[in-house]
Amino acid sequence: MPFLTARWEHLVLLNYVCPAALLEPLVPAGTTLDTWEGEALVSLVGFLFSDTRLLGLPVPFHRTFEEVNLRFYVRGPAPDFRRAVVFIRELVPRWAIAAVARGIYNEPYLSVPMRHRWSLTKDGGKISYRWTHAAADFEIGARVSGAPAPLQEDSESEFITEHYWGYTRQRDGRTLEYQVEHPRWRVWTASECWFRGPAASLYGPAFGAVLSVEPRSAFVAVGSPVVVHHGRRLVTS
């Protein structure tokens, strides 16, 4: 039985060039930093969880909620060299969800008040996710038009969205690997996007500087059902 099943809906993905030297200390043991066209990227991603189930069971009052995460990209060990994500910070509005993810996966979750707003249809629209931390307001959002398109092979949108593995550093320094299953998403390229709020107060001065400029790219993905499998420890030399 998988650890978690849900739907991830209306994903906003803002992607920023980041100095590799800032990410290297965060790369879990046994993995290596992955790049797109020679540049290391971080992505600020907002989306909605719905129909969430842990070990097949719905948890009362925890089935639908927002998440915003800051992540970067790595390759797993040989022989597969799986393309994967590593999370720098994950925000949800449910304390219990954050506690379970920290306890089982040692993922960097934080519980904050969150809300969302959208007017998104098959022909485009607007979507935003908002939250509050340390008395400051934050918002990530995008506007799109037309119909979402299938992912193009070897495109930046494919690099950003087609990651089916996650790696996280454990308290003992070892690495946990877990698989995420979902179909290929249809995506829009955003015609307008924004991130508002004092990023340095939440992510630290270095990442605050990275997030203070215009993103390299911005996409909105339709989303789909997802399955998150139980993690396993990597065996590294």
Helix/strand/coil (H/E/C) assignment for every residue in the chain: CCCEEEEEEEEEEEEEECCHHHHHHHCCCCCEECCECCECEEEEEEEEEEEEEECCEECCCCCCEEEEEEEEEEECCCCCCCEEEEEEEEEECCHHHHHHHHHHHCCCEEECCEEEEECCECCEEEEEEEEEECCEEEEEEEEEECCCEECCCCCHHHHHHCCCEEEEECCCCCEEEEEEECCCCEEEECCEEEEECCHHHHHCHHHHHHCCCCCCEEEEEEEEEEEECCCEECCCC
Domain count, the chain: 1
Cβ atoms of residues 236 and 30 within 8 Å: yes
Res 237 pLDDT > 60? no
Res 91 pLDDT > 70? yes
pLDDT over 90 for what percent of the chain? Answer: 76
Res 175 pLDDT > 90? yes
pLDDT value, residue 138: 98
What does the buried/exposed string (b/e) look like for 21-45 if buried means 16 or more CB atoms within 10 Å of the residue's CB? ebbeeebbebbebbbbeeebbbbbb
Mean pLDDT to the nearest integer, 63-90: 94
Res 83 pLDDT > 80? yes
80 vs 137, residue with greater confidence:
137
Res 104 pLDDT > 80? no
CATH no. for residue 92? Answer: 2.40.400.10
Mean pLDDT to the nearest integer, 160-184: 94
pLDDT value, residue 236: 64
pLDDT value, residue 101: 67
Mean pLDDT of the chain: 92
Q: Which residue range is the domain that position 118 belongs to?
A: 4-233
